[in-house]
Structure 1
Amino acid sequence: MTRIAAIEPIPVEYPDPNDFNTIRRTVLVRVTTDDGIVGWGECIAMWPEACKAVSTIITEGLLPAVKGMDATDTDTVWTTMRRHVWWYGEGGIASLAISGVDMALWDIAGKAAGKPLYALFGGLKHERLKANASSHVNKKGEAACVAEVVGFFEAGFTSCKLGFAKKGESDIGGDPDTDVSFIRALRAALGDEAEILVDIGNGVRWDVDTAISVANRMAEYRIGWYEEPLYPTDDAGYVKLKQNTRVRIASGEREFTEAGYRRQMELGAVDVYGIDPARVEGITGFRRVDALASQYGKVINAHAWSTAITTAASLHLSLASPNAEIFEYKPFDVVVQNDLVADRLWHRDGWAYPIEAPGLGIEVQEDVVRRIAMT
C-alpha cells in the first residue's frame, strides 16, 4: 500500500502580465508517500490571509487526519478530510485546503497506476476541445482591446472569453453602452465564426433589468454565453434573467461544494457551470459536480486560470467529461504556466489535446516553486 507520509503546503506569489503584473497568490501542495511518490496539487486561495489560513488547515488539520492512509484511495481520504472539517468546512477556506490535497493524491494515484488521470476517470469523452483564450479586457480604448483579441485568433485560438471591469486602463465594464459597443466592434473584426464568451464578473454592479438589457443587446452579436452579470447568490435575479433572454447564462466559478452546485442546478437559471478543481474540493469534488451536470443536462467549463498544476487537472477532467465544450488557456506568458513545469501546457492549432504521461502528466520544477514561494 502506498501511504501518505507528508503534506507540504507552499504559498507562492507571482506577477500576472494579464493584469499589468499585479501580484497573484495561490497555495501549491506537495504530497509525498512512504514509497517516494510525489504528487502536486493547488488551492486557489489568492489573498495573503487566505493562503496562510489554507496552509494552517493543511498542516494542523488535514495532515494529522490522513497521514498513513492509502494515498491511492482518493474517495476515502476525501471523505475523511471533509469529516474532519465538519464544523467549519462546508465551503470556503476548508474547501480550498481539501482541493489541493485531493488533487495531489489523484496525481499520485495516476503515477502509481502508470496511467494518465483521464484513464482513471473512465477514458476520454473528447479527442480534443476548442482552445479558448481567456483574458481580461483592460487595455486603453476600444480599438486596443479589439486588436488584442484579434491577436489571440491570429495566434491560433478558436474561442475567446473576455473578463470585464478588471484592473487596467480600460473602461469596459463601467458602462453598458460601452460594453455593447466593444462586442459589436469585436464581432465586426473577428467575423461570423469566432466564438465570443462574455464574463461580466465581480467588478460590475448591475441590477437585473440592466443585465437583461445588456444580454439582449449583445445577443445580436451572437455571444456564446453571458457569465455572472449578477452576484452569484442572486437567485431571483438569475431566474428573471433566464426568463427574459435567449443568451446562455454562465455562473458557478465562485461555488465551493457539490451541495452548492446542486442548489443552483435545481433552480434552473444557469446553463453553463464554471468549476475549478483548485476550489471545489479537488478532482473528486469536480467529478461529483460534473455528474450533477450530466443529471441536469448542463454544460461545464473548467476554470483553469491559475497555475499549470490546475491547468493539467482541468484538462484531464474536461476531456473526460461529456459536458465540456472548450478549454481555457491564459494567452500571456506567466511564470506559473511557462516555467513551473518542464513542458508548457499549450494548444495545438487551436485545439486542446490530452496529456499522456501518468498522473497529472506534468513535471513540476521545484526550483521554480521555491523561487516564487512567499516569505
Structure 2
Amino acid sequence: MKITDVRTVLLTAPYGVEGAHTRRRSAAFVEVETDEGLVGIGETYAGVYLPDLVPGIVELYRQVLVGREITSPARLYRDCYWVTGYCGRTGLTVMVLAGIECALWDVLGKYRDAPLHELLGGAVHDRLPLYASGGVPTMSVDQLVAQAEQVRAEGYRGFKMRANPVAYQPDVEAERVAAVRNVLGPDALLAVDAVQSLNTRPWSVKQVLRLLDALHPYDLAWAEEFLPPFDPAPYAELRALTSTPISGGEGITTATVFDQWLRAGAFDLAQPDPTIIGGIGEARRACEAAAARRVQVAMHVWGSAPTITANHHLGFTQPNCVMLERPVMGNPLETEMLVEPLDVRDGYALPPSASGLGVELTEEIKARYPYEPGSASMFG
C-alpha cells in the first residue's frame, strides 16, 4: 500500500457551552491517501492555534511521503523529522508532523482491519476511568456548577476545571473549586488546570504553594501546569514542597524532551498527547519513559475525534495509564467523526473496536463546518 497524497483539511466548528471563551473552534486534519483507496485521518493540535500555517508544513512532508510504502509509521516519521532537523527539532513542525503520523497509523489500521491498540501490541486494560474536562475560567460560578451537575449526571468518574491563567486570585479560585466540589461530592475526582503556557506573568513556586493551600480542603486529584512549561526544575521543587500531585507535559514535543522532564522529577502524573508530541510513536516512548520512573500517565485530550481516539487507543496499551480525558465543551467534531460512539459504561471507557483510529472525515462534515479565517483561539 503506497501513499498517493498527503493533504490538510481545515475546519471550523461551533462551541456549544454557555460561558465558553469562544463560540467557535478551528481544527486542522491531515488526510493520507493510498493506492488502495483508503484514507487515513490524523489531527494536529496546531490547528487550534495556527491553522493557516499547517498546510505549508504538511506540503513539506508530503514531498517525503508520496510514493512510499506504509509498512512502518516509525520509519516514515524519522524520515520526515530529518528533513526539518535544522529548523524543527521541537515545536510547531513536530506538532504538525504528529497529525501526519497519526494518519499513517489510522490508514494502516484500516488496511489491516484492526483497531490501533491491536497494532500497538494489544490493550492491557479492560477499562479505564474517564473524566470530563471543561470548566473554563470565562464561565460564571453558576455556569460552572451547571456543567459539574451535568458531568455528575452523566456518570463521569471525575471533572477537571480550569483556573484563570492570566490572574492570580487564590480566594476566587477557592470559591469556584468549592462550588464544584459541593456538586460532585467528596468521592469524585476533581482536578484543576492552570494552563500556564498562557500566563504572560507566570506564577512562582511560592505563589503556587499559597494557591494550593487555599485549594487543599477540596482534595485535588492533581494540580496541572500551575507553573510555566519552560523549565522542569521548579516543578521538581514544587513536588518536594506539597502533597498535591503535580501534573503536566501536554505541550512537550518529542519523547526526548519529555524524558528530560521526567529525569528532572517534574511530574507525579505525566500527560503526553500524540497530536502534540509528534505522534503515536513519540507518545508511546514518553509513556514508557514515565513507566521506567514509576510515574503514572493520564493521556491529554483537548481536540476533535482523532485526538480523542488516538489518546484512548494508546492509553489502553500502557500499563501505567490510569485515566482518560474527555472534553465537554460542546464541539460537534468530537462525535460526528467517530465511526462508532465511544464505549463508556459506568464512567469507564472500554477499548475501541473500529479499525485504525475509528474516525472518518466525510464530504458532508467538510461542507457542514467550512473553515472560517480568524477562528483560531489562543486558549484552545
With normalisation by structure 2, the TM-score equals 0.90
Where 1:223 maps in the other structure, the secondary structure is: coil
Q: Which residue of structure 1 aligns with residue 96 of structure 2?
A: 97
Q: Which residue of structure 2 aligns with residue 107 of structure 1?
A: 106
Q: CA, structure 1 residues 90+370, in 2 after alignment: closer, same or farther (shift >3 Å)?
A: farther
Where 1:41 maps in the other structure, the secondary structure is: strand
Q: Which residue of structure 2 aligns with residue 185 of structure 1?
A: 179
1:2-81 → structure 2 map (5 Å cutoff):
2-18=1-17, 19=20, 21-46=22-47, 50-59=50-59, 61-81=60-80
**CA contact 2:131–2:324 (8 Å) conserved in 1:** yes
Matched, 1:198 2:192: yes
Deviations for 1:174-229, whole angstroms, at most 9, x for unmatched residues? 51111123223333332221100111113554221110122233233211000011
Please tell me the root mean square deviation across aligned C-alpha atoms, in Å.
2.1
**CA contact 1:110–1:360 (8 Å) conserved in 2:** yes
Q: Which amino acid aligns with 2:294?
A: G
- Residue 144 of structure 1 and its aligned partner are, at CA, apart by 4.1
Deviations for 1:282-309, whole angstroms, at most 9, x for unmatched residues? 1111111111111121122222211101
Q: Which amino acid aligns with 1:268?
A: G
- Residue 373 of structure 1 and its aligned partner are, at CA, apart by 3.6
Where 2:344 maps in the other structure, the secondary structure is: coil
Q: CA, structure 1 residues 109+268, in 2 after alignment: closer, same or farther (shift >3 Å)?
A: same
Q: CA, structure 1 residues 292+370, in 2 after alignment: closer, same or farther (shift >3 Å)?
A: farther
Where 1:275 maps in the other structure, the secondary structure is: coil
Q: CA, structure 1 residues 238+138, in 2 after alignment: closer, same or farther (shift >3 Å)?
A: closer
Which of 295, 303, 307 is matched with 1:310 structurally?
307
- Residue 162 of structure 1 and its aligned partner are, at CA, apart by 0.9
- Residue 139 of structure 1 and its aligned partner are, at CA, apart by 6.1
Q: Distance in 1 between matches of 2:103 and 2:287?
A: 19
Q: Which segment is superposed worse, 138-147 or 365-374? A: 138-147
Q: CA, structure 1 residues 239+333, in 2 after alignment: closer, same or farther (shift >3 Å)?
A: closer
Q: Which residue of structure 2 aligns with residue 160 of structure 1?
A: 159
Q: Which residue of structure 1 aligns with residue 322 of structure 2?
A: 325
| Structure 1 consecutive aligned stretches of length 4 or more whose deviation exceeds 6 Å | none
Q: CA, structure 1 residues 215+288, in 2 after alignment: closer, same or farther (shift >3 Å)?
A: same
- Residue 327 of structure 1 and its aligned partner are, at CA, apart by 1.2
Deviations for 1:94-148, whole angstroms, at most 9, x for unmatched residues? 1122111110110111122221111111111111111111003346543442342
Q: Per chain length, whose mean CA-contact separation is higher, i.e. which structure has more relative contact order (CA < 8 Å, sep 6+)?
A: 2
- Residue 79 of structure 1 and its aligned partner are, at CA, apart by 0.8
Q: Which segment is superposed worse, 241-250 or 356-365? A: 356-365
Q: Distance in 2 between matches of 1:209 and 1:362?
A: 45
Q: Which amino acid aligns with 1:227?
A: E
Q: Which segment is superposed worse, 102-111 or 332-341? A: 332-341
Q: Which residue of structure 2 aligns with residue 128 of structure 1?
A: 127
Where 1:188 maps in the other structure, the secondary structure is: helix
Q: Distance in 2 between matches of 1:66 and 1:334?
A: 31
1:278-293 → structure 2 map (5 Å cutoff):
278-293=275-290
Q: Distance in 1 between matches of 2:117 and 2:82?
A: 27
**CA contact 2:47–2:54 (8 Å) conserved in 1:** no
Q: Which residue of structure 2 aligns with residue 169 of structure 1?
A: none
Q: Which amino acid aligns with 1:39?
A: G
Q: Which segment is superposed worse, 327-336 or 278-287? A: 327-336
Deviations for 1:230-289, whole angstroms, at most 9, x for unmatched residues? 101143422321111011101111111112101101110211122121111111111111
Where 2:285 maps in the other structure, the secondary structure is: helix
Q: Distance in 1 between matches of 2:284 and 2:339?
A: 27
**CA contact 1:133–1:330 (8 Å) conserved in 2:** yes
Q: Which amino acid aligns with 1:105?
A: L
In structure 1, list runs of 5 or more residues that go unmatched: 167-171
Q: Which amino acid aligns with 1:267?
A: A
- Residue 23 of structure 1 and its aligned partner are, at CA, apart by 2.7
With normalisation by structure 1, the TM-score equals 0.91
Q: Distance in 1 between matches of 2:66 and 2:131?
A: 39
- Residue 71 of structure 1 and its aligned partner are, at CA, apart by 1.3
Where 2:25 maps in the other structure, the secondary structure is: strand
In structure 2, list runs of 5 or more residues that go unmatched: 373-380
Q: Distance in 2 between matches of 1:134 and 1:94?
A: 27
Where 2:274 maps in the other structure, the secondary structure is: coil
Where 1:329 maps in the other structure, the secondary structure is: strand
Percent identity between the two aligned chains: 27
Q: Distance in 2 between matches of 1:216 and 1:72?
A: 52
Q: CA, structure 1 residues 29+373, in 2 after alignment: closer, same or farther (shift >3 Å)?
A: farther
Which of 356, 365, 368 is matched with 2:362 structurally?
365
Where 1:137 maps in the other structure, the secondary structure is: coil
**CA contact 1:339–1:365 (8 Å) conserved in 2:** no
Where 1:9 maps in the other structure, the secondary structure is: strand
Q: Distance in 1 between matches of 2:48 and 2:127?
A: 34
Q: Which residue of structure 1 aligns with residue 251 of structure 2?
A: 254
Q: Which residue of structure 2 aligns with residue 297 of structure 1?
A: 294
Matched, 1:85 2:79: no
